[in-house]
């Protein structure tokens, strides 16, 4: 089971502290550290002990009110391998383990849990809809097998090194009968719809590359051996569907299911994978493929594969249609096999090509025939859906217990039959023990497996595989809109009102898994009339990972623990010998590079960890966890400086003091104007980062800038300006969503702010309207030979016109006094600030 620390997604903490939680003073012995909320005594320095007391005091109060005041639409994806493996390790039932985890994590605001029957009933309902539409099917296939987790993996769950995305084990190939969802039928619509997602930065290209160019399609062929029906259907890919009447043969890879297991095709010749030498014989099987809507018979050849390899042709699909009219490679194969075929293309004098010998499609142009043939295939449900040659259907079978049961029964007379909707959910039976090894544990639940066929009422067996957890998560954005519905998955008017989701936050590793499956299911639900929209998520924020420092032997790639490394020399070496490679990788138990978040929180505090994660990098980037060189020290210093601002204000004002701006001198008034400007600029920028581009690191940098401005304020400004007080209030307010404990105590310690209520009760600050007004005049600073000499007010509309500005200044009293008798060599008007510098002869 992998251990991964993810970037935090922050939710608004709209909470309030009730009167019952008000601090009550108590007597303390000299030297005892105090907390203002407890004692009414302000601690001047923000020490580690102070931080600990602040978080201990405020955390339960924040959480208690958060549970009452904030709607937190959380879905808990509770099924799956991690929970089942953890339960097995502890000798517990997975349901019991999952409930313990829910209580431990305090998920009392959870709106639904995917492992509960009231949720997975509707996962099964959607599966039945897919089954009825011909999009959920079972077939024998050579699949990816995880030898550690003892289950099947989809292609998307195998990394570029051939390892399991979860366990890290080297994936094996195994022949099994599995359930698939025909996502390839939606490949072209899913590819085209990416154009309607302008804010899916980065992920659009990943999905487009995963889907591939959808220029061809699959056609279904019924297989015959020696003229007899086999009952099997073979889907073969054609890159030129309009010329399918000119096909000469079907070619399959050695890994194709027909050459393994119980296929009847094995009876017509040598079984297994074709060897390198076998291509010389070019032995054709006696099997033929019959094109389902034309009854055209094609020769099948497994020896063809070796010819392709020797021709340096890269084959990605398991079965393809050989059409000599369209491909030199296909033509070479057909000639080498001494096959006959029909010419289906005629070139006209103008260079256009039309179809011949193609039944009702003869006489059409290639494009017309392409559209007509694929459409008829779709109408007759024998293929025709545009897809790429490399894309595979979604394999959803898992040979594990802790997952949604597949709602299908197998009948000897009727075949696979979907469980009727009124009999859902098919619930998981209780099992005495689990090992996590071998075939599906549900095979041992004999009373549960034995059932009655819903169609013929004869004896039947339940499907014992469970669904991949990605099926559960592929639709729960719909359930958010109607989580308690007991009649249907969701009401359409509610889904249409709330969806599509405005912002989806997730990891890039889901680009070709969860996000792809979710898009597919949304397209399907649109076609079923369940929702009005095709795309589930408008905007995507791809969050990075916190990666841990990883050590592995250079020669073998074996991962080592930190204690196995000798750091004495400049370059680390293994204590048992061997050069060590040091990298940063996704945190994983198998790589010994994980960390316990609780340990980090215990050392630095909750607020520090939250601020660090947000400040260390933009949300899309990964963070390399290294406490010696990263942003933690800066975050710690900033919290201390924030705390010092409250100390500064409390020192400058006594209880009952009222600011008196009339006591401020001209220089101090200019200082208050600067504070006012910086406050409004910070509100403008931070609000934009919070609601627009989600650059929380930039938001924190802007708050640090406002902190600097307030830290440099003179004592008179702190004591007598309303601007300092308001800017500090804004600073604490905008810090609160990221560091709620610190902000709550700071707000409580500011005497002018206490009377407004707790910080998390306040409205988000707004920019002062006057700041947004475009002034008619601007005050222009005047310098002579780089020395400040005063300022002149000029109309805003001419403030960037160098000649006009020079004229106005020379005509002003300041210009008449300082420049009228001097020779001006040059005047430089700043393009960025309201300033002009006159260079004159001395």
Q: Is residue 427 part of a domain?
A: yes
Q: Which distant-in-sequence residues (6+ apart) come within 8 Å of 123 by Cβ?
A: 114, 404, 467, 471, 472, 475
- Euclidean distance between CA atoms 16 and 24, whole angstroms: 18
- Euclidean distance between CA atoms 803 and 778, whole angstroms: 16
Q: How many structural domains is the chain composed of?
A: 5
Are 501 and 550 in the same domain?
no
pLDDT range class, residue 38, cuts 50, 70, 90: confident
Q: Residue 100: is its pLDDT beyond 80?
A: no
User: What angle (nearest 5°) sits at the alpha carbon of residue 314, between those of residues 313 and 320?
Assistant: 90
CA 593, 598, 604, 610: dihedral to nearest 10 degrees? 90
Task: Give the mean model confidence (pLDDT) for residues 264-277.
Answer: 40
Q: Count Cβ atoms within 10 A of the Cβ of residue 537 and give its class: 0-12 exposed, 13-18 middle, 19 or more buried.
A: buried
Q: Which distant-in-sequence residues (6+ apart) come within 8 Å of 250 by Cβ?
A: 221, 234, 236, 289, 298, 299, 300, 301, 319, 320, 321, 322
pTM above 0.85, yes or no: no
Check residue 668 and give left, alpha or beta (phi > 0: left; psi -120 to 50: alpha). Answer: alpha
Which uninterrupted H or E stretch holds 395?
strand 394-395
Are 498 and 644 in the same domain?
no
Residues 97/139, Cβ–Cβ less than 8 Å: no
pLDDT > 90 in the chain, percent: 43
DSSP state of 243: G
Query: Judging by DSSP bridges, how do beta strands 249-252 and 408-411 pair with one another?
Result: unpaired
DSSP state of 163: B
Which uninterrupted H or E stretch holds 98?
helix 94-105
Collapse the DSSP code of 453 into the 3-class scheme (helix H, G, I; strand E, B; otherwise coil) and give the result.
Answer: coil
CA contacts within 13 A on the Cβ side of 589: 7
Rg, the chain, Cα only = 35
Q: Tens digit of pLDDT for each residue in 152-184? A: 776 767 877 888 866 778 888 888 889 999 999
- Euclidean distance between CA atoms 760 and 739, whole angstroms: 11
Collapse the DSSP code of 290 into the 3-class scheme (helix H, G, I; strand E, B; otherwise coil) and give the result.
Answer: strand
In total, the chain counts a number of residues equal to 842
- Euclidean distance between CA atoms 443 and 461, whole angstroms: 10
Alpha helices per DSSP H over 481-528 = 492-498, 514-527
Are 720 and 808 in the same domain?
no
Q: Tens digit of pLDDT for each residue in 183-238? A: 999 999 999 999 999 988 878 999 999 999 999 999 988 877 777 777 778 888 99
Are 721 and 787 in the same domain?
no
Are 584 and 714 in the same domain?
no
Q: Which residues constitute the domain of residue 134? A: 81-189+396-542
Q: Is residue 106 part of a domain?
A: yes
Taken in order 383, 385, 387, 391, the sign of the CA dihedral is negative
- Euclidean distance between CA atoms 631 and 302, whole angstroms: 60
Among 711, 743, 771, the domain-final residue is 771
Query: Judging by DSSP bridges, how do beta strands 537-543 and 546-553 pair with one another?
Result: unpaired
The neighbour count for residue 357, using CB atoms within 10 Å, is 13
Task: Give the mean model confidence (pLDDT) for residues 389-413.
Answer: 92
pLDDT range class, residue 75, cuts 50, 70, 90: low
pLDDT at residue 561 in the model: 87
Q: Is residue 489 part of a domain?
A: yes
DSSP state of 8: P
Are 478 and 603 in the same domain?
no
Are 553 and 510 in the same domain?
no
Q: Is residue 592 part of a domain?
A: yes
Residue 126: which of 490, 383, 394, 450 has the closest Cα? Answer: 490
Q: Which distant-in-sequence residues (6+ apart) come within 8 Å of 765 by Cβ?
A: 683, 729, 730, 733, 734
pLDDT at residue 29 in the model: 35
Among 570, 597, 625, the domain-final residue is 625
Are 414 and 377 in the same domain?
no
What are residue 228's DSSP bridge partners?
225
Are 422 and 513 in the same domain?
yes
Q: Which distant-in-sequence residues (6+ apart) come within 8 Å of 811 by Cβ?
A: none
Q: Is residue 264 part of a domain?
A: yes
CATH number, domain with residue 176: 3.40.50.620
CATH number, domain with residue 297: 3.90.740.10
Q: Is residue 722 part of a domain?
A: yes
- Euclidean distance between CA atoms 148 and 163, whole angstroms: 11
Report residue 182 CA to chain centroid gap: 23
What are residue 171's DSSP bridge partners?
none
Q: Tens digit of pLDDT for each residue in 13-29? A: 222 222 222 233 333 33
Q: Tens digit of pLDDT for each residue in 316-364? A: 456 778 888 888 888 988 888 788 888 999 998 888 999 999 999 999 9
- Euclidean distance between CA atoms 293 and 265, whole angstroms: 22
Residues 781/837, Cβ–Cβ less than 8 Å: no
Q: Which of the pair, 116 or 32, is modelled with greater confidence? A: 116
Q: Is residue 20 part of a domain?
A: no
Are 270 and 335 in the same domain?
yes
pLDDT at residue 546 in the model: 82
Residues 5/624, Cβ–Cβ less than 8 Å: no
pLDDT range class, residue 138, cuts 50, 70, 90: very high
Among 585, 609, 625, the domain-final residue is 625
Q: Is residue 256 part of a domain?
A: yes
Are 637 and 742 in the same domain?
yes
Q: Tens digit of pLDDT for each residue in 537-575? A: 998 888 888 888 889 888 877 888 888 888 888 888 888
Are 357 and 416 in the same domain?
no
CATH number, domain with residue 834: 3.10.20.590
pLDDT range class, residue 67, cuts 50, 70, 90: low
Beta strands in 487-589 (DSSP E): 501-507, 537-543, 546-553, 559-560, 565-566, 573-574, 580-586
């Amino acid at each position: 089971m992998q251990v991964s620390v993810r970037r935090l997604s922050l939710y608004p903490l709209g909470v309030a502290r009730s009167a019952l939680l008000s601090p009550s003073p108590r007597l303390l012995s000299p030297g005892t550290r105090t907390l203002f909320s407890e004692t009414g005594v302000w601690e001047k320095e923000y020490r580690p002990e102070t931080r600990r007391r602040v978080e201990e005091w405020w955390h339960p109060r924040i959480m208690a009110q958060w549970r009452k005041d904030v709607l937190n639409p959380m879905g808990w994806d509770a099924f799956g391998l991690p929970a089942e493996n953890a339960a097995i390790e502890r000798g517990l039932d997975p349901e019991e383990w999952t409930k313990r985890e829910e209580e431990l994590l305090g998920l009392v605001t959870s709106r639904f849990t995917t492992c509960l029957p009231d949720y997975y009933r509707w996962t099964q309902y959607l599966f039945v809809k897919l089954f009825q539409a011909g999009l959920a099917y079972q077939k024998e296939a050579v699949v990816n097998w995880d030898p550690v987790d003892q289950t099947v993996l989809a292609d998307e769950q195998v990394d570029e090194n051939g390892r399991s995305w979860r366990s890290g084990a080297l994936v094996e190939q195994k022949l099994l009968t599995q359930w698939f969802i025909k996502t390839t039928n939606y490949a072209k619509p899913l590819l085209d719809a990416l154009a309607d997602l302008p804010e899916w930065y980065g992920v659009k290209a990943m999905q487009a590359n995963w889907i591939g160019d959808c220029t061809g399609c699959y056609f279904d062929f019924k297989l015959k051996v020696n003229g007899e029906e086999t009952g099997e259907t073979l889907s073969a890919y054609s890159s030129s569907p309009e010329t399918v009447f000119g096909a000469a043969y079907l070619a399959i890879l050695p890994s194709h299911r027909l050459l393994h297991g119980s296929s009847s095709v094995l009876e017509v010749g040598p079984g297994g994978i074709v060897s390198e030498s076998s291509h010389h014989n070019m032995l054709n099987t006696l099997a033929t493929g019959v094109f389902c809507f034309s009854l055209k018979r094609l020769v099948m050849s497994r020896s063809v594969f070796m010819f392709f390899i020797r021709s340096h042709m890269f084959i990605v699909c398991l079965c393809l249609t050989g059409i000599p009219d369209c491909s030199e490679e296909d033509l070479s194969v057909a000639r080498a096999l001494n096959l006959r075929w029909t010419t289906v293309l005629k070139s006209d004098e103008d260079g256009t090509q039309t179809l011949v010998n193609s039944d009702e499609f003869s006489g059409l142009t290639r494009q017309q025939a392409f559209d007509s043939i694929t459409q008829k295939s779709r109408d007759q449900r024998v293929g025709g859906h545009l897809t790429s040659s490399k894309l595979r259907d979604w394999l959803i079978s898992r040979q594990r217990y802790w997952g949604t049961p597949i709602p299908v029964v197998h009948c000897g007379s009727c075949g696979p039959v979907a469980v009727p909707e009124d009999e859902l959910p098919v619930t998981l039976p209780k099992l005495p023990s689990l090992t996590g090894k071998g075939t599906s544990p549900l095979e041992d639940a004999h009373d549960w497996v034995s059932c009655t066929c819903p169609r013929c009422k004869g004896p039947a067996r339940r499907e014992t595989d469970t669904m991949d957890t990605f099926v559960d998560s592929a639709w729960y954005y719909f359930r958010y809109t109607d989580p308690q519905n007991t009649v249907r998955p969701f009401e359409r008017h509610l889904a249409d009102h709330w969806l599509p989701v405005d912002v989806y936050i997730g990891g890039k590793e889901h680009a070709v898994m969860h996000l792809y499956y979710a898009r597919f299911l949304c397209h399907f639900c649109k076609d079923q009339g369940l929702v009005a929209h095709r795309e589930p998520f408008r905007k995507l924020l791809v969050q990075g990972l916190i990666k841990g420092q990883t050590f592995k032997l250079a020669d073998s790639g074996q991962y080592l623990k930190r204690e196995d490394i000798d750091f004495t020399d400049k370059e680390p070496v293994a204590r048992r010998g061997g050069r060590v490679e040091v990298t940063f990788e996704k945190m994983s138990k198998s790589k010994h590079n994980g960390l316990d978040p609780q340990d980090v929180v215990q050392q630095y505090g909750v607020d520090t960890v939250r601020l660090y994660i947000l400040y260390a990098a933009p949300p899309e980037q990964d963070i390399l966890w290294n406490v010696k060189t990263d942003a933690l020290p800066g975050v710690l210093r900033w919290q201390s400086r924030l705390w010092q601002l409250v100390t500064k204000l409390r020192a400058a004002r006594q209880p009952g003091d009222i600011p008196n701006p009339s006591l401020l001198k001209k220089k101090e008034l200019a200082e208050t104007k600067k504070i006012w400007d910086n406050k409004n600029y910070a509100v403008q920028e931070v609000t934009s980062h919070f609601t627009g581009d989600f650059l929380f690191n930039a938001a924190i940098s802007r708050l640090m800038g406002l902190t600097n401005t307030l830290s440099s304020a003179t004592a008179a400004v702190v004591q007598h300006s309303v601007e300092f007080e308001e800017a500090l209030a804004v600073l604490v307010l905008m810090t609160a969503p990221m560091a709620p404990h610190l902000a709550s105590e700071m707000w409580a310690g500011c005497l002018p702010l206490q009377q407004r209520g707790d910080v998390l009760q306040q409205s988000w600050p707004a920019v002062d309207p006057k700041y947004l007004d475009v002034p008619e005049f601007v005050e222009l600073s005047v310098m002579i030979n780089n020395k400040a000499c005063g300022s002149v007010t000029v109309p805003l509309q001419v403030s960037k016109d160098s000649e006009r500005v020079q004229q106005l200044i020379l005509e002003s009293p300041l210009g008449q006094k300082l420049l009228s008798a001097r020779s001006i060599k040059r005047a430089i008007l700043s393009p960025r600030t309201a300033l002009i510098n006159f260079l004159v002869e001395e």
